[in-house]
Amino acid sequence: MNIGLTYDLREDYLAEGFSEDAVAEFDRSDTLDAIEGTLRELGYTTDRIGHVKKLAGRLVKGDRWDIVFNIAEGVSGFAREAQIPALLDAYNIPCTFSDARVLALTLHKGMTKRVVRDAGVRTPDFAEVKMLEDVGDIRLPFPLFAKPIAEGTGKGITAASKIRDRSELASVCSRLLEQYQQPVLVEEYLPGREFTVGITGEGREAVSVGVMEVILLDKAEKGVYSYHNKEKCEELVEYRKPGDALGKKAEAVALAAWRALDCRDAGRIDVRADNNGEVHFLEVNPLAGLHPEHSDLPIICTLYGISFLELIRRIMTHAVKRVRPV
């Protein structure tokens, strides 16, 4: 099979003048090298395409692929992650991971939480701040947690994201509204243990590849799995296999949310416990990072004895099954 590769590389956008924060979600070149090398090891031929505009140009020229391995995050708009799958749909070309419908939903954390909550999965109570005046309408109990409504990789999350009073709430929301030019999600802060769950497959066939507890070390930003902590995870974060009842609860909540959202192939769901030991859905990453050593999903796989090659093999097995049903 001929596999096209779509992606957004940090170095490409930095060369165009984008800031470090603006490219935080984009991939490093060694991630792309690892994915392409593994696909070739699995017997596929590969063709590097690039970002959505390069894909559009190739499609207009008449280029086609059996399937596209898509890790592109997109540059602008709430539906930016959905742009490449939607464009491929127009040409009847399948791709890996979740479809345009799911990716358009899940980047918006507020919309995602509504769907998950409606499916009966616990998630912290929340409000959306679209303009600073909305802060006065929030009636949630402190402490609260605030983050941009449509970002990933911990963008916009710092130690200040944990909010103790209304003055801090106004200050943090003002900064996030100005910096990210999008609404702010404000939700009840959960003080319990935090987990991220790796999942492969879809629907009834979806399975957990492992549950990983996120332990912030002494030098880390306190109380939040922030962008800073993620970028320097090797020195600021310890990852553990939980091996207890709470870990099992985390796995169950994550799988319920994954299935409710119709995610597919592979990804991650972040969850956290409240004071009573009940696990709540926080957010989903249906286009999880795939750097073999630095990204959470491959780290989870390593903890549970699953090689990077086996992870990519599983992703492709699920994706190819949609193209060539058994």
Structure tokens, 292: 């073999």
**pLDDT at 224 (0 to 100):** 86
Asked if the model's pLDDT at residue 324 lies above 80, the reply is no
**pLDDT at 198 (0 to 100):** 98
Q: Give me the mean pLDDT over the 270-293 stretch.
A: 96
Q: Give me the mean pLDDT over the 134-163 stretch.
A: 94
User: 244 — phi, psi (to 5°)?
Assistant: -140, -175
What digits encode the pLDDT tens for the residues 106-143? 999 999 999 999 999 999 999 999 999 999 999 999 99
Query: Alpha carbon 66 to chain centroid distance?
Result: 26
**pLDDT at 285 (0 to 100):** 97
- Residue 21 pLDDT level (bands cut at 50, 70, 90): confident
**pLDDT at 232 (0 to 100):** 87
Taking the C-alpha atoms of residue 38 and residue 267, their distance in angstroms, rounded to an integer, is 18
Domains along the chain with CATH numbers: 2-95 (3.40.50), 125-188 (3.30.1490.20), 194-323 (3.30.470.20)
Which of 261, 321, 326, 319 lies closest to 85, judged by CA?
A: 319
pTM reported for the whole predicted model: 0.94
Secondary structure tally for the chain: helices H, strands E = 12, 12
User: 217 — phi, psi (to 5°)?
Assistant: -85, 175
What digits encode the pLDDT tens for the residues 178-225? 999 999 999 999 999 999 999 999 999 999 999 999 999 989 888 888
Taking the C-alpha atoms of residue 191 and residue 187, their distance in angstroms, rounded to an integer, is 12
